[in-house]
Structure 1
Amino acid sequence: MAGSLNDSNLDSGAALHKPTIKLCHQTGRAPRVAPSWLTAHEHERFAQLSGDRVTEFLTSRWLIRQALSKAGSIEPDLCCPVEGRPTTAACPAGWHLSLSHSHGLSACATQYGSALGIDIEPSKRHPRWQKVVKRWFSPVEQEWLFQEDDAQAFLQAWTLKEAWLKATGRGIAGNLQTLEVRKNFELYGDQPDGHWQACVFYTEGFLCTLVYRQTPNDQSASWPRITLLEPPLDDYSLSSAQALDTHWEPIFHRKIHAKPQP
């Protein structure tokens, strides 16, 4: 099964409470002068960066505004995240967001009224994963991952954990086992409400994982709306970006069960 979605699927009305994912490729050179639309905190970050990190930073911040513009149906230059770590929108209010970028691709997920987390990794990456699993994963996870002996299975488990920690507002240190990924990707998290979902798919040569908390108005386990946008212009102007044909291949969609109490 493969999917193709673009902005003809409006981010409004009945679809308001479903998460969306906007993607774009990083292209071009970074301007010497920061775009005027950056916030004060973003200007400080821009001044501290150099080389490819400048382009990566500007592309991701540009994408945040494009994603919020599509979600809230307002012009991109009116959109901005809260200062500091971009997890919620200052304008339009009420929107949660999550950002990930890797090897020239940026991803921004948005949802109204509920937290979410996204993580992307190149699908052809071959990490030295055994030491990571042995040190940071639970005994249950170690057993099945070493039996599988598959770098892709590890990447799927790792991105699930990364997206989970973003969605629940925690860092990696001491928290990787708060989501346990069992054989056949049965998922157990330490959040008791039972409304968490995870979806994993391939797109643009990347593995993409989204973890989100369902809102009371959306209890369906449907896939998010996924759109690839045209990359920013060299001057990073905030004119509304056009949607491109977006092809993606679903891997799995799972409920995250609450861990049984000891």
Structure 2
Amino acid sequence: MQTAKLFISFSDLMEVKLNLDKECSLDNNDVIIYSIYLPNFMDLKADLVQFLNAKELIKAERFYKEIDQNRFIIYRSILKFILAAHTKLEVKNIDLDYHLNKKPYLASHPWLHFNISHSEDFAAIAVSYKKVGIDIEYMSGDFDFTNILPDIFDDNEIFEIKNAFNKKQAFYTSWTRKEAFVKALGKGIDEDFKYIPCLDGQHNIDSILLKNKEDWQMYSFALTEHYLGAVAFEGSSAVCKNLMHCSMPNTMKDLLEMTQMRNG
């Protein structure tokens, strides 16, 4: 049986400030996580919606609640600003294609990998030259997860959650890890979800399960006090990745400058 290695741990993200005077660049070992505090962008919705194409506008209209429509408009348009900054394309020329598994990609720049996650008031976008997946979750105090544990986790994982000092954090840590990893693989939640490892340490996984022969790394991180995240990406743990976090600016001037400096 051919196996791939998966290393799992926690990480303190390296905080970096978006430098509008410097080209947005990635090294081979970089993973940049851009966070978006959605309430800070609500006043920009009328400007941001101008950067969405007809298909994206139709998708926005499908959301039943106005708040969800607005959130989609914000994080989808800002995703396009970020991709424009990394590719030197015009924002309005960013047109996402989709794999059969519905994972978005840029056909013009297939080597630039990205993934997005959103939960309540936050969205997060991971960008890398390696396949990458990200998940963030608001750690709700009202959610009773006890009954769903057997459907999602194996016996060892359930034991760890039930015996953790902070059971809520242990649940969301394990959940976001599995979710980030299957998003990186492009698998989605399927019958294999339960068998994706999520506990700290190094794991050997059947390559058939992954449909992928590469080694992987996965790290949990605290976005804020109430939001927990995980990011998964290709690569051996022997190769150190630069995990960086950048908060997106919430003015049109800065967003436009972010791309104009790269495209000028």
TM-based fold match above 0.5: yes
The verdict on how the C-alpha distance between 1:77 and 1:17 changes in structure 2, with shifts beyond 3 A counting, is: farther
Choose which of 9, 17, 30 in structure 2 pairs with 1:18.
30
Q: Tell me how far apart the structure 1 counterparts of residues 178 and 146 of structure 2 sit (CA, whole Å).
A: 16
Q: Which residue of 1 aligns with 2:60?
A: 46
Choose which of 193, 212, 227 in structure 1 pairs with 2:246.
227
**How many residues matched?**
235
Q: What is the Cα deviation at residue 171 of structure 1? A: 2.3
Give deviations 1:227-252, integer Å, cap 9, x for gaps.
1012365xx9962459xxxxxxxxxx
Contact 2:136–2:228, Cα closer than 8 Å, also in 1: yes
Give deviations 1:144-169, integer Å, cap 9, x for gaps.
22222621111100000110111111
SS of aligned partner of 1:22: strand
Letter in 1 for 2:218: A
Give deviations 1:54-90, integer Å, cap 9, x for gaps.
1111111112112212322444333332258452124
Q: Does residue 1:145 correspond to 2:161, yes or no?
A: yes
Q: What is the Cα deviation at residue 175 of structure 1? A: 2.5
Q: Tell me how far apart the structure 2 counterparts of residues 178 and 225 of structure 1 sit (CA, whole Å).
A: 29
Q: Which residue of 1 aligns with 2:138?
A: 122
SS of aligned partner of 1:80: coil
Q: Does residue 1:163 correspond to 2:183, yes or no?
A: no
Q: Tell me how far apart the structure 1 counterparts of residues 38 and 229 of structure 2 sit (CA, whole Å).
A: 17
Letter in 2 for 1:45: K
Q: Does residue 1:94 correspond to 2:114, yes or no?
A: no
Contact 1:5–1:227, Cα closer than 8 Å, also in 2: yes
Q: Which residue of 1 aligns with 2:87?
A: 72
The unaligned stretches of length 5 or more in structure 2 are 1-11, 260-264
Between 1 and 2, higher relative CO (CA 8 Å, sep ≥ 6) is seen in 2
SS of aligned partner of 2:34: strand
The unaligned stretches of length 5 or more in structure 1 are 243-262
Give deviations 1:159-218, integer Å, cap 9, x for gaps.
001101111112223132231224x45555443635211111112332121011139xx9
TM norm structure 2: 0.74
Q: Tell me how far apart the structure 1 counterparts of residues 242 and 170 of structure 2 sit (CA, whole Å).
A: 21
Choose which of 227, 232, 235 in structure 2 pairs with 1:211.
232
Letter in 1 for 2:135: D
Q: Which residue of 1 aligns with 2:6?
A: none
Q: Tell me how far apart the structure 2 counterparts of residues 3 and 238 of structure 1 sit (CA, whole Å).
A: 22
The verdict on how the C-alpha distance between 1:196 and 1:10 changes in structure 2, with shifts beyond 3 A counting, is: farther
Q: Tell me how far apart the structure 2 counterparts of residues 2 and 167 of structure 1 sit (CA, whole Å).
A: 19
Q: Tell me how far apart the structure 1 counterparts of residues 81 and 238 of structure 2 sit (CA, whole Å).
A: 27
Letter in 2 for 1:198: M
Q: Tell me how far apart the structure 2 counterparts of residues 209 and 22 of structure 1 sit (CA, whole Å).
A: 13
Q: What is the Cα deviation at residue 95 of structure 1? A: 1.7
Contact 2:36–2:248, Cα closer than 8 Å, also in 1: yes
Contact 2:17–2:246, Cα closer than 8 Å, also in 1: yes
Q: Which residue of 1 aligns with 2:4?
A: none
Identical residues among aligned pairs (%): 18
Q: What is the Cα deviation at residue 4 of structure 1? A: 2.1
Q: Which residue of 2 aligns with 1:202?
A: 222
Letter in 1 for 2:68: R
The verdict on how the C-alpha distance between 1:188 and 1:57 changes in structure 2, with shifts beyond 3 A counting, is: farther
TM norm structure 1: 0.75
Contact 1:64–1:81, Cα closer than 8 Å, also in 2: no
After TM superposition, the structure 1 stretch with the greater mean CA deviation from structure 2, 57-66 or 24-33, is 24-33
Q: Tell me how far apart the structure 2 counterparts of residues 17 and 70 of structure 1 sit (CA, whole Å).
A: 19
CA RMSD of aligned residues (A): 3.3
Q: Tell me how far apart the structure 2 counterparts of residues 54 and 195 of structure 1 sit (CA, whole Å).
A: 37
